Amino acid sequence: MLTLTPSVDVASRRVLVRSDLNVPLSDGAIADRGRITASAPTIRSLAEAGARVIVVAHLGRPQGAPVAELSLGPVAEALAEEIGRPVAFATDTVGESARAAVDALADGEVVLLENLRFNPGETAKDDAERGAFAQRLAQFADLFVSDGFGVVHRKQASVFDVARLVPAYAGGLVAAEVEVSRRLLEDPVRPYAVVLGGSKVSDKLGVIDSLLDRADLLAIGGGMVFTFLRAQGHAIGASLVEEDQLDTVRGYLAKAAAKGVEILLPDDIVMAASFDRDADHWTAEVDALESTPAGASALGLDIGPRAAAAYAERIRAAQTVFWNGPMGVFEFPAFAAGTQAVAEALTSAHGGREDGRLTVVGGGDSAAAVRALGFADDDFGHISTGGGASLEFLEGRTLPGLDVLED
């Protein structure tokens, strides 16, 4: 993989940068700038080196047609603040506005094109349609820089096809993400603890299977924990469960036992009368989840305080920690304590290359959670920008957006 370095002459050259600016929105405002902040260094360094920088990205899933609420216009303003220089905005992807904005660029200037997914060619399954859109993007560029790690697992026009049309490099963000992911996959310093949460086991089948061959400990939380508890024979009330994954989970438990990998499950759960911010709630032992005020209609919304303390202790004892997925419904303050405890434990376990210790927050909801709970990015060894991409990398799968950079 060729990584863009200072030795690559970009002065006066048009550099197309595929960033990941897919930020969460709340009432039209950017709720979490994490991905913009992470993308800024590569864009800033190119501009400072005299490149004419054309940034492309997507936002949401507009299904190939313009959606006003998913315009990247507000992102252009936030990006300008992050890089400390103006960012022009083109109101289309490869049309008249984009062409005029690119033609107007001077050395060191930056433009952001409109949401790529407003064009159906970006995500087309048909190679010819996707390739045609890539050709139109490539006409803007002398060089291509892939710096959106959150999309490198997608075979899309701006991720894969453009890299086959112009000289292509990995940007600083992608290079850093790949380095961290390889440390987790190939050379973790032990003990190696993996903390997995989120709602569904089915979202993490591949990564669980892969990490059972690599980790010393898998700590399970979030909604997915109830499929594990049901697989062990526990009654779980109305808690989220994937009945079709019970045999798979039993297989994971057996594989872990055979390999000497510990699967850590909570021994207490915060139960609630309903899925609501202000619902009545209580803590129950895992063998008594239905022996509580709401009985079988109660549902679990967080790991309990004893479980949170046990998870935190094991995290602090580890030398390598990978965390993906919140421990509960952290958006509701009453059910955020488990996620808070895990995040705090990761900050205390934070180290660096000098001692070999590495703590990684695996993007997606986990990254949103730590910021929502008041933590800073530099409290952790690394916060990934790629939830799905991180998981697929750790599964050992080929990622099209990285594979094409090897060609």
In this predicted model, what pLDDT tens digit does every residue of 201-218 receive, in sequence order? 898 988 999 999 999 999
H-helix segments, 104-147: 127-138
Please check whether residues 90 and 134 belong to one and the same domain.
Answer: yes
Residue 97, annotated as binding a ligand: no
Residue 400 lies in a domain: no
Residue 382, annotated as binding a ligand: no
Residue 211, annotated as binding a ligand: no
Beta pairing class for 217-220 and 281-285 = unpaired
Question: Which of the following is catalytic: 200, 316, 357, 397?
Answer: 200
Residue 154, annotated as binding a ligand: yes
Residue 21, annotated as binding a ligand: yes
Residue 356, annotated as binding a ligand: no
Residue 35, annotated as binding a ligand: yes
Residue 6 lies in a domain: no
Q: Which domain holds residue 55?
A: 14-172
pLDDT in tens, 42-101: 999 999 999 999 999 999 999 999 999 999 999 999 999 999 999 999 999 999 999 999
Both tokens of 335, joined, read 């059910």
From 172, 190, 218, the end of a domain falls on: 172
Tell me whether residue 222 is one of the annotated catalytic residues.
no
Domain containing residue 77: CATH number = 3.40.50.1260
Tell me whether residue 357 is one of the annotated catalytic residues.
no
Please state which of the ranges 20-34, 45-59, 293-307 shows the lowest mean pLDDT. Answer: 20-34
Residue 405 lies in a domain: no
Residue 256's φ and ψ, nearest 5 degrees, are -60, -45
Tell me whether residue 364 is one of the annotated catalytic residues.
yes
Please check whether residues 147 and 270 belong to one and the same domain.
Answer: no
Question: Which of the following is catalytic: 13, 18, 33, 35?
Answer: 35
Tell me, what DSSP letter sits at residue 119? Answer: S
Give the angle subtended at the CA of 197 by the CAs of 193 and 198, to the nearest 5°: 155
Residue 331, annotated as binding a ligand: yes
pLDDT at residue 266 greater than cutoff 80: yes
Residue 226, CA atoms < 13 Å, CB-side half-sphere: 25
Cis amide prior to 326 (ω within 30 degrees): no
355 band by pLDDT with thresholds 50, 70 and 90: low
pTM of the model: 0.90
Residue 330 lies in a domain: yes
Residue 165 lies in a domain: yes
Residue 324, annotated as binding a ligand: no
pLDDT in tens, 126-160: 999 999 999 999 999 999 999 999 999 999 999 99
Both tokens of 383, joined, read 């916060």
Tell me whether residue 388 is one of the annotated catalytic residues.
yes
Give how many domains the chain has, as a whole number: 2
Residue 28 lies in a domain: yes
Q: What is the overall mean pLDDT for the chain?
A: 93
By three-state DSSP, how is residue 261 classified?
Answer: coil
From 172, 204, 234, the end of a domain falls on: 172
Please check whether residues 163 and 278 belong to one and the same domain.
Answer: no
Please check whether residues 239 and 151 belong to one and the same domain.
Answer: no
Sequence-distant (6+) residues with CB within 8 A of 247 are none
pLDDT at residue 363 greater than cutoff 50: yes
Residue 148, annotated as binding a ligand: no
Please check whether residues 203 and 351 belong to one and the same domain.
Answer: yes
pLDDT at residue 27 greater than cutoff 90: no
Question: Which of the following is catalytic: 50, 95, 351, 388?
Answer: 388
Residue 22, annotated as binding a ligand: yes
262/253 Cα distance (integer angstroms): 9
Residue 295, annotated as binding a ligand: no
Please check whether residues 288 and 192 belong to one and the same domain.
Answer: yes
From 172, 207, 229, the end of a domain falls on: 172
CB 17 within 8 A of CB 145: yes
Please check whether residues 88 and 206 belong to one and the same domain.
Answer: no
Question: Which of the following is catalytic: 121, 364, 381, 386?
Answer: 364
Strand residue runs (E) in 174-261: 192-196, 217-220
Task: Sheet containing 52-56: give its strands across.
Answer: 87-89, 110-112, 52-56, 14-18, 143-146, 168-170
